[in-house]
């Protein structure tokens, strides 16, 4: 089951990332790394930040255990959805009204003229958040039913919408292209929502909303709501560290040389591929199962499932991190160096990518260890750990940005990931962690490194001759 769910999620994410790669290739070629690409990435940064903190991370990891334990699932489902959806619509209206303020909040280093261009784009892109919350909510219900394919594969629809917008507007003014991409974000979100509604209906889960709507006795779930909101508030902090770090990266990069935001974006897109393909796919796949084992007090089965996931993930992340670090410039050149994306852009983006990849293994493994805390309803501990990591990140900004520039932002984020992993393992349990490490797979892991690193260095020499 673990590998079936993993491969379903992983293949779905891979399909989405392939379309995402095509989107980025077109974006790099058509827009390049300049003020217009910076404006779009800034406009999409805010809904993306809240989506990852609020919708996909904190919500799912709090809702699924609460839903499993709920004695009034229909009423709990309906009330939770309505409250959150109305709140997000309200926030979207606020962002629309004060779009100039929020644009400046994201990119304080932008000039007044640039902020005036970015403000309406920030407002448009933000409406993606309530849509993707609805997608995430329905996806959580599908995960409970061990159905992962719809959520995994539908993420490609956003990229397909953006690709279509880029192709249709190629040759137009760059500001027109950026507006088309912003509206495409909304269209892509609506397409994702439509696929989830169809999947929910096919599995007869719409009755949860129908029965919840007709049942007005909210006092039945008063305690359940209270526990859920309590765990969710802590889960927001627990999931926020890498997202707030990314937000701070963009904010500080707006003060650096033109193109810095884009260098961060392109490097982070490559970094996020193995993180999503392996760490997120595996965590999403095993989380509902581990939560069910823990509910039935079958901790041994939960730990065995967790151990299998740990070693599988460690091998994949290590191969990706080392390979990406050694071949960073070759990867960026192969993917993006064409059209408006110059060789200088490649060199700067590759340097940022290397700094991000330092944190790939820590961030990936911390996602796995964090899910154990969420499954055991220890969101408060996860929140404290996130604060430690975030404080580390902020302190390192003050040390690394001046000498390293945009590279220092990525390195600070990676170091914060190391702190996140250390404290998460401590909360998981040092003894339990050592029990996982004491395995014959450790010798295989070390042997793999001894062979893998020299092989990659040799491959790099060959590639450099032909590139």
Which position has the higher pLDDT, 127 or 230?
127
Q: Which two tokens stand for residue 466?
A: 């032909």
pTM for the model stands at: 0.72
Q: Is 153 left (phi over 0), alpha (psi -120 to 50) or beta?
A: alpha
Rounded to whole angstroms, the Cα distance separating 265 from 259 reads 10
Range of weakest confidence among 167-181, 254-268, 296-310, 381-395? 254-268
pLDDT (0 to 100) of residue 450: 87
**With 90 as the cut, is the pLDDT of residue 41 above it?**
no
Q: Which pLDDT does position 426 carry in this prediction? A: 92
Predicted confidence band at 4 (pLDDT cuts at 50, 70, 90)?
A: low
Separation CA 198–CA 107 (nearest Å): 39
d(CA 235, CA 158): 26
User: If you average pLDDT over residues 347-354, what whole number do you get?
Assistant: 90
What percent of the chain shows pLDDT beyond 90? 18
Q: In whole angstroms, what is the distance from residue 347 CA to residue 92 CA?
A: 38
| Token duo for residue 171 | 């040759």
Mean pLDDT within 391-419: 88
Residue pair 105/49 in contact by the 8 Å Cβ criterion? no
Structure tokens at 195: 């696929």
Distance separating alpha carbons of residues 354 and 119, to the nearest angstrom:
32
Ranges assigned E (strand) in 109-213: none
Q: Is 70 exceeded by the pLDDT of residue 69?
A: yes
pLDDT at residue 241, as a whole number: 67
Tokens 């999403």 belong to residue? 284
Mean pLDDT is lowest, of 1-10, 12-21, 246-255, for: 1-10
Number of domains in the chain: 1
- Scored b (16 or more CB within 10 A) or e, 11-21 reads ebbbbbbebbb
Contact 395/363 with Cβ under 8 angstroms? no
4 or 410, which is more confident? 410
Query: Which residue do the tokens 């160096």 mark?
Result: 337
User: What is the domain extent for residue 130?
Assistant: 2-466
How much is the average pLDDT of 340-369?
88
Q: Which comes out higher in pLDDT, residue 73 or 54?
A: 73
The pLDDT of 157-172, averaged and rounded, is 89
pLDDT classification of 238: cutoffs 50, 70, 90 = low
Q: Is the pLDDT of residue 215 over 70?
A: no
Neighbours of 97 (CB within 10 A): 11
Structure tokens at 294: 């823990």
Residue 423, classified by CB atoms within 10 Å of its CB into exposed (0-12), middle (13-18) or buried (19+), is buried
Q: Residue 240 — pLDDT band, cuts 50, 70, 90?
A: low
Mean pLDDT of the chain, nearest integer = 83
For the beta carbon of residue 444, count every other beta carbon within 10 angstroms. Answer: 11
Both structure tokens of 379: 């969101």
404 close to 411: Cβ distance less than 8 angstroms: yes
Kindly state the DSSP code that residue 219 receives in the 8-state scheme: G
CB 142 within 8 A of CB 150: yes
At 113, is the secondary structure helix, strand, or coil?
A: helix
Percent of the chain clearing pLDDT 70 (strictly above): 90
159, 22 Cβ separation under 8 angstroms: yes
Residues 382-404 have a mean pLDDT of 86
Q: Give dist(CA 163, CA 22) in Å, integer.
A: 7
N-term to C-term CA, the chain:
42
pLDDT at residue 165, as a whole number: 92
The per-residue pLDDT for 224 is: 78
Higher-confidence position of 439 and 424: 424
């Amino acid at each position: 089951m673990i590998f079936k769910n993993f491969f379903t999620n992983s293949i779905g994410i891979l399909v989405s990332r392939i379309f995402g790669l095509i989107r980025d290739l077109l974006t790099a070629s058509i827009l390049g790394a300049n003020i217009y690409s910076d404006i779009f990435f800034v406009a999409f940064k805010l809904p993306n930040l809240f989506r990852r903190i609020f919708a996909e991370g904190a919500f799912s990891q709090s809702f699924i255990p609460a839903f499993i334990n709920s004695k009034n699932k229909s009423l709990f489902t309906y009330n939770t959805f309505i409250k959150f959806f109305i709140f997000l619509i309200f926030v979207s209206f606020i962002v629309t009204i004060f779009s100039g303020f929020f644009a400046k909040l994201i990119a304080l280093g932008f000039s007044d003229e640039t902020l005036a261009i970015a403000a309406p784009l920030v407002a448009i892109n933000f409406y993606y958040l309530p849509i993707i919350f609805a997608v995430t909510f329905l996806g959580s219900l599908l995960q409970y039913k061990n159905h992962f394919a719809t959520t995994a594969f539908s993420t490609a629809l956003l990229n397909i919408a953006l690709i279509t917008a880029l192709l249709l507007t190629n040759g137009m003014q760059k500001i027109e292209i950026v507006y088309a991409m912003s509206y495409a974000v909304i269209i892509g979100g609506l397409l994702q929502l439509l696929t989830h509604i169809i999947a929910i209906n096919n599995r007869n889960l719409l009755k949860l909303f129908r029965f919840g709507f007709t049942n007005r006795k909210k006092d039945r779930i008063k305690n359940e709501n209270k526990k859920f909101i309590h765990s969710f508030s802590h889960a927001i902090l627990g999931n926020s560290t890498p997202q707030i770090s990314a937000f701070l990266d963009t904010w500080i990069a707006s003060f650096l040389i033109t193109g810095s935001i884009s260098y961060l974006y392109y490097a982070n897109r490559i970094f996020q591929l193995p993180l999503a393909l392996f760490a997120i796919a595996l965590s999403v796949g095993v989380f509902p199962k581990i939560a069910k084992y823990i509910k039935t007090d079958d901790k041994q089965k939960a730990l065995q499932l967790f151990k299998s996931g740990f070693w599988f993930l460690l091998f994949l992340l290590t191969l990706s991190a080392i390979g990406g670090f050694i071949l960073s410039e070759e990867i960026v050149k192969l993917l993006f160096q064409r059209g408006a994306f110059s060789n200088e852009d490649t060199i700067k983006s590759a340097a940022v990518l290397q700094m991000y990849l330092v944190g790939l293994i820590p961030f990936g493994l911390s996602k796995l260890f964090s899910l154990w805390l969420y499954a055991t309803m220890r969101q408060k501990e996860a929140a404290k750990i996130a604060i430690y990591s975030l404080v580390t990140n902020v302190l390192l900004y003050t040390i690394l940005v001046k000498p390293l520039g945009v590279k220092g932002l990525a390195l600070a984020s990676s170091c914060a990931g190391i702190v996140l992993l250390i404290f998460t393992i401590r909360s998981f349990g040092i003894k339990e962690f050592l029990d996982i490490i004491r395995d014959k797979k450790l010798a295989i892991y070390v042997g793999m490194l001894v062979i893998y690193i020299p092989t990659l260095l040799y491959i790099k020499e060959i590639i450099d001759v032909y590139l």
